[in-house]
Amino acid sequence: MSYPTLPNDTRKKLDQLRDYATLQHEYGATGIQEQLDAVTAQIDAALAAVQALPIDAPLKAKEPDDLEAIHALRTPGPRAMAPLSEAAYREKLEGAMLSRFAGCTLGAIVEFWSVDAMRDWAAAIGDSFPPTDYWSKITNPIALRYQLSPCSAYTRGGMDGVPVDDDIAYTLLGLLIAEDYGLDFTTDDVGEAWKKYLPYACTAEEVALDNLRAGVPALLAAEKNNPYIQWIGADIRSDPFAYLAPAQPEKAAAMAYRDAYVSHRRNGIYGEMFFAAAQAAAFAAKDSMEALRIALTEIPKGMHAVWRRGLGAGNRPFHPRLHRSARGGG
């Protein structure tokens, strides 16, 4: 599936328009603002026209947003697996959360870096690559990530516990939602928790948070001015619901659904449901492939072939622009 695209030089032309407007203003030209306002009006009109285009109704029927319809399109699955002993649960939960925290901490200070850039940095500071430990040094060590943790706190020598990370924030937020509202929390409860605990977010989460703060109900917060509703931000929020429903993929997916609905639709919802179910199943599955196969039974069956193709360019849930751990979501 190929995506429509703007010409490659569109952004360059807009940058030139801005810069020429500045230059001509310095030369004393008049009428510049009127030209810029006209361009803005044209962009607004094109945006409104694109949003008003009719969508594919049969495709929409295959990709519902309500949980009952999603369940109707599932393939058979275990829904719940053999329960764990308390000791086994504690051991697996500790491993899951430590792995989550370790991975985020390792990657945080090289986020957006290319593989070549990381390899070059490792060579420059004498670290192994691929990494076998946390980074020993990092550029600009006193810079703060999210206004809280210095970059040095993500290195082996500067580490003292888990420094702040946008993705880990959602792990903690999911647990706070459960503490405040119980395991039967609603999407409205999620919205209230976001307003109470979430300072800021990015992409779909940012839009939803802004809408919530503006008084938009949680059930509608994803739908206003949000072109990111099928992005991967909700996936990143999936893990706490697996921790709360070990070996219960259906229950984990249902909680993930209620969480995802505040900011996402369609594949954006299925993504969080899938990963919550996979992680919940992993508490009892014999291996990771079994957990992934079980997770597929918690999303509409029409998605299976697409998702099994993995991260290839052009696959709908994994469009190349979506390969971003949404900062504060995505």
Helical spans, DSSP H, in 145-186: 166-181
Neighbours of 179 (CB within 10 A): 10
Predicted local distance difference test score (pLDDT) of residue 322: 35
pLDDT confidence band for 281 (50 / 70 / 90): very high
* Residue 171 to residue 176: CA distance in whole angstroms: 9
- 278 C-beta neighbours (distance < 10 Å), count: 24
The token pair that represents 30 in the structure block: 């008049």
- Of 104, 126, 154, which residue sits at a domain end? 154
Residue 280 has pLDDT above 70, yes or no: yes
* Residue 312 pLDDT > 60: no
Report pLDDT for 7.
87
**pLDDT score at 320:** 32
Res 321 pLDDT > 60? no
- Same domain, yes or no, for 109 and 36? no
Mean pLDDT of the region 25-48: 97
- Residue 36 reports pLDDT greater than 90: yes
Inform me whether the pLDDT recorded for 317 exceeds 50: no
Q: Are residues 104 and 242 both part of a single domain?
A: no
pLDDT at 325 over 60: no
Q: At residue 189, does pLDDT exceed 80?
A: yes
| Predicted local distance difference test score (pLDDT) of residue 101 | 95
User: Concatenated DSSP letters for 272-299?
Assistant: HHHHHHHHHHHTT-SSHHHHHHHHHTTS
Domain boundaries, position 118: 89-154
pLDDT band at 329 (very low <50, low <70, confident <90, very high): very low
Shared domain for 224 and 109, answered yes or no, is no
In tens, the pLDDT along 121-156 reads 999 999 999 999 999 999 999 999 988 999 999 999
The count of other CB atoms within 10 Å of the CB of residue 49 is 9
Range 191-195 average pLDDT: 98
Same domain, 99 and 117: yes
307 pLDDT band (50/70/90 cuts)? low
User: Picking from 33-42, 159-168, 234-243, 271-280, which range would have the lowest pLDDT averaged per residue?
Assistant: 159-168
Query: What does the mean pLDDT of the chain come to?
Result: 91
Same domain, 176 and 317: yes
How many Å apart are CA 75 and CA 296, to the nearest integer? 8
Please tell me the pTM assigned to this model: 0.88
Inter-residue contact 225 to 314 (CB < 8 Å):
no
How many domains does the chain fold into? Answer: 3
The answer on 261 and 170 residing in a single domain is yes
125, 39: one domain: no
Q: Which distant-in-sequence residues (6+ apart) come within 8 Å of 207 by Cβ?
A: 221, 222, 224, 225, 226, 228, 263
Residues 184, 256: one domain? Answer: yes
In a domain, 4, yes or no: no
Residue 329 belongs to a domain: no
Give 206's pLDDT tier (boundaries 50, 70, 90): very high
Is a pLDDT exceeding 80 seen at residue 1? no
